[in-house]
Amino acid sequence: MSPQTVFAPWDDPHEKPLIQFRNVTKRFGDFTAVDNIELDIFEREFFALLGPSGCGKTTLMRMLAGFETPTEGTILLDGKDIAPIPPNRRATNMMFQSYALFPHLTVRDNIAFGLKRERRPKPEIDARVDEMLRLVQLQKFATRKPHQISGGQRQRVALARCLAKAPKLLLLDEPLGALDKKLREETQFELMDIQEKTGTTFVIVTHDQEEAMTVASRVAVMDHGKLVQVATPDVIYELPSSTYVADFIGDVNILEGRITGQDDDRVEIAWAEDQPSIHAKARVALAPGSTAYFAIRPEKIAISATRPETAPNAVTGKVLDIAYLGNISTYHVELPGGQVIKAQSTNTDRMAAREFTWDDTVWLGWSDAAGVVLER
C-alpha cells in the first residue's frame, strides 16, 4: 500500500503528525475524564472521536481548543506544546454542539466575527465572508439573524464561521446532533466535501457510530477516558480489538467460550455443552484453556432450511423472532440450550415469499473467517 494512492499517513513512519497527545490525563476532582492518552492525528485527516456520553471525548476536544488544560502530559500541535497558548490565540477553531451563533449578530457578522478580531482590512474580510457564504450556499441569508433561519442553515453558518479563519485544525462537537435523520445524512456528505475542498484537518466528536463510520478517515473508540481502538472504519467494524468495540459498533453476536485446540492460525472454541466447537481464524495466539470471545456480525451468518454442507460451522435452532427492517430481516434463532443468535438476510423477495417464519427449525452457518476471536 503506497501513500500516493491511498490516504494513510498513519502507516507512514516518515509522516509527522499534526497533533500529538503524549500521556495526557485530565482529572476533575476525583473523576478522571481522560486517562493517559497517546494519540497522533495527521494533517488532512478526518478524525472521529467516538464513544458514549461521559467517555471523555468532549474533554479531549476541549483540551485541543484550549478550554481545558491537561492535568498531566502534553499536547503538541505541529511539534509545539500548546498548553501555554490561550484559546483565542490557537490556530484551532471549534464548531459547538449548540452552534453558539451570536444571536445579536447577522449571519454575515457571525462569519466575519473571527476575521475582525484579527484586524484584517475590510475588503479582505468581505471577500473572505463572501467566499464562505458561497461554500455553504447561504448567500441569500447573509443579512438574517440566527433565529430567522432554519436549523440546517444555522449548522452551516456555524461551520462557515469556524472555517473562515482557515484554521489548521477544525474541531466539531456533535456537529449534526441537532438535525433530523434525513438532513443529517445529507449533511454528512456535505461535510466530507467541504473537508476535502478546504484541506483542513477535522476532528469530530460524536456518539453516533454510523456518522463516525461515514465521515471519518480514522475512528478512535473511547471508553471511560481511555482509547479502546484507533483504526480506519473498516478495521473497526471487521476487526474490533475487543468485545466492547464490537458491541458498540453495529449489531453483533458475542459467544463466550474456551480455547480447546489450536493449529496455526485456526482455533477451536468450545462454547456450549450440546453444541459443536466453533472453528475460527484467530489473529493472535491464544493459549489452550483460556477464555475467548467469538464475535460475529449477523449479516455474516447464513440462514437456511437444511444443514449447509460446506460451512465449517453450523448450528440449528428455532426462529424466535423476526425483525423486518425493509431491506433486510434479522432472525433471532434460539438454540436448544437457550442461547439466541441473530442472523440477517437480505430481502431479495417480497415479504409474502419469505422462506421462514416463527417456530420454524432453521440452520445457521458461517465460515471460519466470518468472525473474530477476542481475548476480552
Does the protein bind other proteins through residue 19 (CB under 8 A)?
no
**CA 334 to CA 332: how far, in whole Å?**
7
Terminal C-alpha separation, the chain: 30
Q: Judged by CB under 8 A, which of 100, 178, 235, 239 binds other proteins?
A: 100
For other proteins, which stretch binds (CB under 8 A), given 44-52, 102-110, 223-231, 244-252?
Answer: 102-110
Please give the size of the binding site for other proteins, defined by CB under 8 A: 33
Collect all residues with Cβ–Cβ distance below 8 Å to 19 and sequence separation of at least 6: 39, 40, 41, 64, 75, 76, 77, 169, 201, 203
* Distance in Å, CB of 106 to other proteins, minimum: 13
CB of 30 vs other proteins, minimal distance in Å: 16
Are 205 and 221 spatial neighbours (Cβ–Cβ below 8 Å)? no
Stretch of 85-93, 194-202, 268-276, 305-313 lying at the interface with other proteins (CB under 8 A) = 85-93
Determine which residue in the list 14, 89, 182, 350 makes contact with other proteins, applying CB under 8 A.
Answer: 89
By CB under 8 A, tell whether 71 contacts other proteins: no
Among 23, 69, 98, 139, which residue sits at the site for other proteins (rule: CB under 8 A)?
Answer: 98
Cα separations in angstroms, 140 against 76, 79, 86, 147, 226 = 40, 42, 35, 15, 45
| Minimum CB–partner distance for residue 271 and other proteins (Å) | 45
Q: Which of 20, 58, 93, 155 binds other proteins (CB under 8 A)?
A: 93
**Measured from the CB atom, is 137 or 150 closer to other proteins?**
150
Is there binding between residue 162 and other proteins (CB under 8 A)?
yes
Among 15, 73, 96, 308, binds other proteins (CB under 8 A): 96
DSSP-H helix ranges across the chain: 57-65, 107-117, 122-135, 151-163, 181-198, 209-215, 233-238, 243-248
Q: Is 14 a residue that touches other proteins (CB under 8 A)?
A: no
C-alpha cell at 307: 444443514
Helices first, then strands: H and E counts in the chain: 8, 20
